[in-house]
Amino acid sequence: MSKINDNIEVIGAREHNLKNFDLSIPKNQLVVFTGVSGSGKSSLAFDTIYNEGQRRYMESFSAYARQFMGDMERPDVDQITGLSPVIAIEQKTTNKNPRSTVGTVTELYDFLRLLYARAGKAYSYETGKPMVQFSEAEIIQDIQKKFKDKKINLLAPVVRGRKGHYRELFEEIRKKGFVKARVDGEIIELRPKFQVDRYKIHDIEIVVDRMPVTDAMKTRLADSLQQSLKMGKDLLFVLEEGKDKIVQYSKQLMCIETGLSYETPSPNSFSFNSPYGACPTCKGLGNVYAIDMDLLIPDASISVNAGGIAPLGEAREASVFVQAKQFARKYKINLDKSIDSLTKEQLDLLLFGDKNISSTLGLDLNDEAIPDTYTGSYEGIVPMLKRWFTSSQSTDVLKGWVEQYMQLNTCTACNGARLKKESLWFKVNELNIAALNEMHLNDLQQWFLDLPKKLDKKDTQIATGILKEINDRIEFLMNVGLSYLSLSRPSKSLSGGESQRIRLATQIGSQLQGITYILDEPSIGLHQRDNQRLIVALKQLRDIGNTVLVVEHDKDIMMASDYLVDIGPRAGIHGGHVVAAGTPKSFLKLKSDTALYLAGKKSIAVPTERRKGNGHIIEIKGATGNTLKKVNASFPLGTLT
């Protein structure tokens, strides 16, 4: 008998229908558990071996930590020895979170973000031209050239587009010896206890210096400029006397023509799960809910009183309808007239209220004109629905009711790319990160293989390590037959087999060693031509020093294994025994049903005649769910299809 450390020894397995058997499983090999459905394969692999591994891990925590997690029940087994840390890769969708994508699950997107933060070239979204970064010497040179012999104000921006009264800020500016500031475009004298309207959005700049641009003032310009950049956090405004338009300079990225500047990017700038990178309109989801006017007014030929506006319903004494009637009386709108006979202005008033009139009937939920709180008067149907849908006070039932009048549209601000405008104007080899995200993996792999030839020497040095990680992970995904996926594909839209193979590729990429991996039918949904690639991936996991246990029915994987265990002989109470075990070569000589079928000694005959069905068919027209491209199909009833 081999050493105990070379095997996982399962003694007295009785979980579910298992019949108190002992089994020795070789470690650091690819082991397949097979047998008919219900025979006890999963009871052995997941409910016994995996649960015991998980229980032991939990027991390594302190008593204090365990009280929050609860104790795990010990599986019904006498003893398991030789068990290393266990990871289960089950056949279920990885994540229902709308923010989870193939890119985030596989960590590929993290490396893309790093690549764009370090090697991305910035372009102005106003002119499309490359951005530049100035040094202090270059800023001085440009000011002397543009404003020669003119009088200028050097401004240090300290508040940009924020609300508040800023009394403390103004006091602090005065204490530092500055007497003027530019507040919302107007230069003012600072006096004690000065403040601005706390409920309005403000732009505030300190007037650091006022001076003519002459050769004699060069030293003073350099000193003041240095102080302005320090106080403005690398940003400086220059305002010529008598003019309104400011010229921006930045030690960060900047467009020379328009003065537009970007902050120096970090990986977070390209993350749709971070406020630094997410599109402010859709909050990084790529979609926004918008009121669907066809659902709001299903039949324009009837009046409001007869239920023409669906959320209002028919005329009754409910407070919302009473408010609508009073509002209609004020603006002389006849609620007994059919909706299609009302003027556009009258309909807009009913839908959007007198404070929120909008010509855009598909008003989206992020429109700033729509209030978030109830004002006590008639606010309009659309703002009311928006408020109910977005309010944290609304119940799930109320939100569900409102959702029936909405549709999920691609965000118009980012066109579904999920990122803010600035992030989409950083490019590597002329493509932004969203374009890479949309590529199929086989195209993406080729793009990255060609990329080193397109980068300059500096960027090549920066990107070498990142590109190796990206190429390795794409290769792992290709090896498990997922070349048709894109990184932007939402996790919740993946099938069980796809998400399991993604997790498998991620584990290969993590390069962990000494782990027992347990997989549940990874070949499910996989085309036969990709089976060999899956087998290579499983062997790769084994070769870096792991034990791989696979519950599987596929012949190719069974024959490619190092060790094969047949559980059976039948299902339920008639199963739960180890019928046969051994290397595939020795297994074929055994007398179990599985061995006889694998050896070709038993087979199921192909029917000579097929059922014709009952003459009826199911027809599907224009199916577009997930990856379907307007599919038309028909299936005969009364047959196995």
Q: Residue 390: CB partners within 8 Å, gap ≥ 6?
A: 365, 372
Name 180's bridge partners. 189
Domain ranges of the chain: 4-89+511-598, 132-264, 287-410, 614-641
> How many Å apart are CA 497 and CA 499, to the nearest integer?
6
Name the nearest CA neighbour of 306 among 342, 338, 346, 334: 338
pLDDT of residue 82 exceeding 80, the answer is yes
In terms of Cα–Cα distance, which of 3, 58, 107 is closest to 511? 107
Residue 345 phi/psi, 5-degree rounding, is: -65, -40
If one compares 312 and 364, the residue with the highest pLDDT of the two is 312
**Rounded Cα distance, 307 and 344, in Å:** 19
Pairing of strands 577-582, 563-568: antiparallel
Q: Which of 136-145, 368-377, 567-576 has the lowest mean pLDDT?
A: 368-377
Residue ranges of alpha helices (H) inside 428-522 are 433-438, 441-450, 457-479, 496-510
| Average of per-residue pLDDT across 332-355 | 88
Q: Is the pLDDT of residue 420 over 90?
A: yes
| Per-residue buried b or exposed e for 403-417, using 16+ beta carbons within 10 Å of the residue's own CB | eebbeeeebebbebb
DSSP state of 529: G
Mean pLDDT of 59-86: 89
**Euclidean distance between the first and final Cα of the chain, in Å?**
50
CATH class of 4-89+511-598: alpha beta
- Average pLDDT of every residue of the chain: 88
Percent of the chain, pLDDT > 90?
47
160-188 confidence digits (pLDDT tens): 888 899 999 999 999 999 999 999 989 99
Helix (H, G, I), strand (E, B) or coil at 236: strand
Is residue 118 predicted with pLDDT exceeding 80? yes
Q: What sign for the dihedral angle of Cα 516, 522, 523, 527?
A: negative
Residue with the larger pLDDT of the pair 5 and 473: 473
Where on the phi/psi map is residue 120: left (φ > 0), alpha (ψ -120 to 50), or beta?
beta
Phi-psi bin for 640: left (phi > 0), alpha (psi -120 to 50), beta? beta
In the structure encoding, which two tokens stand for residue 75, read together? 């599986």
The answer, yes or no, to whether residue 368 has pLDDT greater than 50, is no
75: pLDDT strictly greater than 80: yes
| pLDDT higher than 50, residue 389 | yes
| Residue 251 and residue 234 in contact, taking contact as beta carbons nearer than 8 Å | yes
How far apart, in Å, are the Cα atoms of 80 and each of 4, 44, 75, 76?
A: 11, 12, 10, 11
Is the link from the previous residue into 371 a cis peptide, with omega within 30 of 0? no
- Write the pLDDT tens digit of every residue in 482-537: 889 999 999 888 888 888 888 888 888 888 899 999 999 888 877 777 888 889 88
Same fold? 132-264, 287-410: no
Contact 425, 432 (CB under 8 A): yes
Q: Beta strand 547-551 with 30-34: parallel, antiparallel or unpaired?
A: parallel
Domain 287-410, classified CATH 1.10.760.10, yes or no = no
State pLDDT tens for residues 575-591: 999 999 999 999 999 88
Question: Options 3.30.70.20, 3.30.460.10, 3.30.190.20, 1.20.120.530; which CATH number does 132-264 get?
Answer: 3.30.190.20
Residue 376: predicted pLDDT: 56
Look at residue 361 in the predicted model and tell me its pLDDT: 39
Neighbours of 521 (CB within 10 A): 20
Average pLDDT over residues 555-580: 93
CA–CA distance from 185 to each of 157, 182, 209 (Å)?
12, 6, 16
**Residue 591, pLDDT score:** 85
Residue 212 structure tokens = 């003519």
